Homo-oligomer: A and B are copies of this chain.
Amino acid sequence: MYKELNTSTRILMGPGPSDAHPRVLKAMSTPLIGHLDPEFVTIMDEVKTMVQETFITKNHLTFVVSAPGSAGMETCLVNLLEPGDEAIICINGVFGGRMADIAERCGATVHKIEKEWGTVVSPEDIKKALDKCPKPKLVALVHAETSTGALQPLKEISDLVHNAGGLLMVDAVTSYCGMELQVDDWDIDAIYTGTQKCLSAPPGLSPVSFSDRAVKALENRKTKVQSWFLDLSLVKNYWGGAKRAYHHTAPVSSVYALRESLRIVLEEGLENRWKRHQEVHHVLKTKLESLGFRYLVEEQYRLPNLNSVFLPEGNDEALIRSKLLNDYNIEVGGGLGAFAGKIWRIGIMGESCTLNHVNMLISALEDIKEFKN
């Protein structure tokens, strides 16, 4: 009744997942070992160190949440916020909105900085928000907004947040391992990411990291964290400490894959990897513009790896997108929210960031007779 798994060989150029490296897929099929096996503890230690290296941080409290990026977001917020706290949440796309929703569920008073989708938050915006809420417990921003393709500068804002005594929380789901991201240098207090973007591992895990300042805030909580599964005071004894305490059963195979994807990133080198994403982006950009595509985001704030573009006039985006998928096996992403039906989100992330990927997409568009450029 249920047949053997038989999926099409997709070329993944949407907002994630990206194509996985064969080495990562192979690692996934390694026979299981126990989640408390000394060999698995060594693997967790290695993964932790590699996550520290890729976040460019010495943060001791660095580990991997056993669930996708959204759960990483929730881990940061439920641990750092409690009823009575004030938070400033910057919203310029889907994921800022999600952070505000979660922060409100934590009982915090949320001050929203709402910006037009596709734009970024300026230091001036932060200053204005701090005038109204001078002592926020936390200020949260999205480094790379996957719904719009906007890249948020962080360094100047970091100083403003810390001068006000707040914690800086950052969503780095789409930027991690694809563009410059400096957790210690930019003084980020809480950060989460996903595995299925520029890391090119399967989706399902969320690397996170917390500064000593954030750890102090955790220790000073007056109430229990509302989530047991995401409570750092419990999880940290599983991912660190002298004696590993059982918390939950770690997703062994996904950790194998994460380990292999991190090895691949470090073999390439972070800076080389950032450069590759920039270079392939420039080729893609030139070719897309020559076909009549127009970028949503102003050039200086554009993500290299997630290209949000309006189609040339007169195209039925859903039709062309389904032709790309069905006739060429190429996945690109549609728009979200107000941009649904209006833009495409073209991802060139990790293993999907090659000249061949760009050429496959551009050539397919040139082939499709309904595509009007």
Contacts and interface: CB of A to CB of B under 8 A. Distances in A.
Interface of A: 1-2, 5, 7-10, 12, 14, 16-20, 25-35, 37-39, 43, 46, 50, 66-71, 74, 78, 98, 101-102, 104-106, 194, 196, 202-204, 224-229, 246-254, 256-257, 259-260, 262-263, 266, 325, 331, 336
Nearest to A336: B246
Contact of A7 (B39, B71, B249): B39
Given A14-B34, A67-B71, A202-B254, 5 more contacts: A12-B34, A17-B34, A66-B71, A74-B229, A203-B250
Nearest to A49: B2
Contacts of A203: 35, 249-252
Number of copies: 2
| Among A18, A71, A204: residue with most chain B CB under 10 A | A204
B20 A32 contact: yes
A105 B228 contact: yes
A71 B229 contact: yes
A260 B5 CA distance: 8
A314 B363 CA distance: 74
Contacts of A106: 226
A254 B256 contact: no
B7 A35 contact: no
B31 A28 contact: no
A240 to B, nearest CB: 18
Given A66-B68, A228-B102, A248-B70, A30 B7 contact: yes
A169 to B, nearest CB: 15
B33 A229 contact: no
A92 to B, nearest CB: 18
Nearest to A325: B37
A18 to B, nearest CB: 8
A33 B7 contact: yes
A231 to B, nearest CB: 8
A254 B251 contact: yes
A317 B87 CA distance: 51
Contact of A257 (B71, B102, B225, B253): B253
Which 7 pairs show the lowest CB-CB distances between chains A and B?
A: A204-B251, A67-B67, A29-B29, A202-B253, A70-B248, A28-B28, A203-B249
A204 to B, nearest CB: 3
A10 B38 CA distance: 12
A10 B29 contact: no
28 contacts: A2-B262, A2-B266, A5-B30, A5-B259, A7-B43, A8-B39, A9-B31, A10-B33, A12-B33, A18-B32, A25-B30, A25-B31, A28-B29, A29-B29, A32-B196, A68-B251, A69-B248, A74-B227, A102-B228, A105-B224, A105-B225, A105-B227, A202-B252, A204-B251, A226-B226, A227-B227, A251-B254, A253-B257
